[in-house]
Amino acid sequence: MAPGAVAVSDDHDFEPAYGLPETLPKSERLLWQGAPDWRLLARDALHVRGLAIYFAVLLIWRGANAMAGGGTVADALLSVALLAPLAVLALATLAVLAWLMARTTVYTITDRRVVMRLGIVLTITFNLPYRVVAGASLHARKDGSGDIALALEDGKDRIAYAHLWPHARPWRVKRTEPMLRSLADAAAVATLLAGALAEAAGQSRQGVASAATPAGERERGAAGGALPA
């Protein structure tokens, strides 16, 4: 698969290698493979927790409003009961969607690139060699989970935000940043990725150090990014 290429298929049961559109070259090492935790994806990407709070407040308000209007407790319960199934259906739908997204997503980190296989119905694979990664940042949460965003170098090839969502950094629509989303062990993955980026940048600098020192300095900063060393 050419660097930066995007492979599209409608069935990943026939992948030559799990999560990859082709087998890795013998010279390339697989460092890590994983997927989002569907519960974290539902909470952080699909905002199920916030929506649940919204529905809870709305149900309480409906019940209180019925009582304030002179209704009985039975009237209040009936008012709540009419809306509750819709709330449960909405939350259940988002939970199932998060489960499907997590089940059909595979993130792969090698010593040369990051590969993201996404898609519930139509499978899309994004191949991101380290030479197109300008930087990486870790958004860690108190429970140890987190997201890793990849800032890409400026170039002609842009990835549409809609193609990546929800595996994209929020609100970065013009300059989309692919994101390894809702990782339960985000810090460990970030440490591994930081090492791979640093190693790749070091190899690149050795080849161009004498001719392009400023570029080498920029790569060193980008490789470190906001990830732990």
In a domain, 66, yes or no: yes
Instruction: Tell me: do 149 and 177 sit in the same domain.
Output: yes
Higher per-residue pLDDT: 15 or 183: 183
- Specify the pLDDT at position 160: 87
Asked whether the beta carbons of 225 and 136 are under 8 A apart, the reply is yes
Instruction: Tell me: do 83 and 141 sit in the same domain.
Output: no
In a domain, 19, yes or no: no
93, two tokens: 């739908």
Q: What percent of the chain has pLDDT over 90?
A: 51
How many structural domains are present in the chain?
Answer: 2
Q: Which of 109, 141, 123 has the alpha carbon at shortest distance from 12?
A: 123
- Specify the pLDDT at position 207: 33
Structural domain range at position 119? 6-12+30-35+112-224
- Specify the pLDDT at position 157: 66
Instruction: Tell me: do 85 and 189 sit in the same domain.
Output: no
- Specify the pLDDT at position 12: 54
80, 101, 122 - which closes a domain: 101
Higher per-residue pLDDT: 210 or 128: 128
Instruction: Tell me: do 83 and 117 sit in the same domain.
Output: no
Classify burial at 157, counting beta carbons within 10 Å of its beta carbon; exposed 0-12, middle 13-18, buried 19 or more. exposed
> What sign for the dihedral angle of Cα 107, 30, 27, 130?
positive
Instruction: Tell me: do 79 and 154 sit in the same domain.
Output: no
In a domain, 22, yes or no: no
In a domain, 107, yes or no: no
pLDDT band (50, 70, 90) for residue 79: confident
81, 101, 121 - which closes a domain: 101
Instruction: Tell me: do 92 and 116 sit in the same domain.
Output: no
pLDDT digits (tens, 9 = 90+) for 13-25: 567 788 888 888 9
Q: pTM (2 decimals)?
A: 0.79
- Specify the pLDDT at position 2: 47
Residues 161 and 96: their CA atoms lie apart, in Å, by: 22
Instruction: Tell me: do 175 and 76 sit in the same domain.
Output: no
Instruction: Tell me: do 157 and 208 sit in the same domain.
Output: yes
In a domain, 92, yes or no: yes
| pLDDT over 80 at 211, yes or no | no
Q: Which of 122, 125, 131 has the alpha carbon at shortest distance from 152?
A: 131
Instruction: Tell me: do 196 and 136 sit in the same domain.
Output: yes
pLDDT digits (tens, 9 = 90+) for 110-147: 999 999 999 888 888 899 999 889 889 999 999 999 99
Higher per-residue pLDDT: 48 or 2: 48
The stretches of 26-160 forming alpha helices (DSSP H) are 38-44, 48-68, 73-103
In a domain, 25, yes or no: no
Instruction: Tell me: do 63 and 123 sit in the same domain.
Output: no
- Specify the pLDDT at position 72: 80
In a domain, 77, yes or no: yes
Instruction: Tell me: do 197 and 163 sit in the same domain.
Output: yes
Chain centroid to Cα 67, Å, comes to 45
In a domain, 72, yes or no: yes
Instruction: Tell me: do 81 and 184 sit in the same domain.
Output: no
